[in-house]
Amino acid sequence: MIQLPSWETRYGLNYTNSPPSWRVVDKTRGENEEIIFNLQGVIEHKVLPPILDARKVSNPHLFSQSLRLVGLGTATFNDSVNAAMQMFNVFSRQFPDKRVIVWEPPASSWTSNLGLSMSNRYFTRAKEAGHMPSVPFPADVDPKGVLNAILDDELIHTEENDVKYYTRHTDLGNKPKYFPGNPQMFRIGDIVEVQFSLVYYKMRSDKYIFKPMLYSIALLDGQFANVSCVSKIKC
């Protein structure tokens, strides 16, 4: 759940050059530390690795991995979505009027409640990456080398583009532990925990866009996805 104690005085936007963007930060921490939010929900839609077909990468600069979560009516999830909407409305006032593209959480196709979509591009323009180095794609993301073949002097894959995948287990002391996972294990209906940040970007059209940026996904419970698959819901 996004925690917002007196958030308008505690949280703000901070501009960074690499890549050019405005990040939601905690002003009470040193150097305006970027906030990484945690949220638990159910996967309603996903576009995740592995990438097996080069024909699907029609526009490498915009090519993204993405996820849409729903809370199935839980108060904590709904509170988090409402908090993100409040942040968008308040922080958008720091940009010129009518230049910010309207952002709204997606309507769920399962329930009457809103969901939350988040994404992360596979590539960053090299001229916008600053000192961030280019790193190769993990084998479980790009097993056939489709994405690594695109890396060049113009498009690179940075640590910020590298979404992490985990499974969560509890030990005998009921302490949760996270272990590296494979991105292809996730299914529609899985209960997951995600980490993401809230970011504004300036577009080439001179407008600004707000997006929740995906950083990691951890599988918490897959039993509901298994039931959905048996019921012939798309997995």
Lowest mean pLDDT segment, chosen from 94-108, 173-187, 198-212: 173-187
Q: Is residue 87 part of a domain?
A: yes
Cβ(130)–Cβ(137) under 8 Å?
no
Tokens of 11: 């949280």
CA distance 65 to 196: 13
Which one has a higher pLDDT value, 198 or 7?
198
Q: Is residue 140 part of a domain?
A: no
Q: Is residue 2 part of a domain?
A: no
Which one has a higher pLDDT value, 112 or 170?
112
Q: Is residue 147 part of a domain?
A: no
Range(s) of the domain holding residue 108? 7-120+161-230
What pLDDT shows up at residue 196? 97
Q: Is residue 153 part of a domain?
A: no
Q: What is the pTM of this model?
A: 0.89
Distance of CA 130 to the CA centre of its chain: 22
Percent of the chain with pLDDT over 90: 76
Q: Is residue 1 part of a domain?
A: no
- Count of structural domains, the chain: 1
What pLDDT shows up at residue 32? 79
Asked if the model's pLDDT at residue 89 lies above 60, the reply is yes
Average pLDDT, the chain: 90
Q: What is the pLDDT of residues 125-134, one digit of tens each?
A: 999 999 999 9
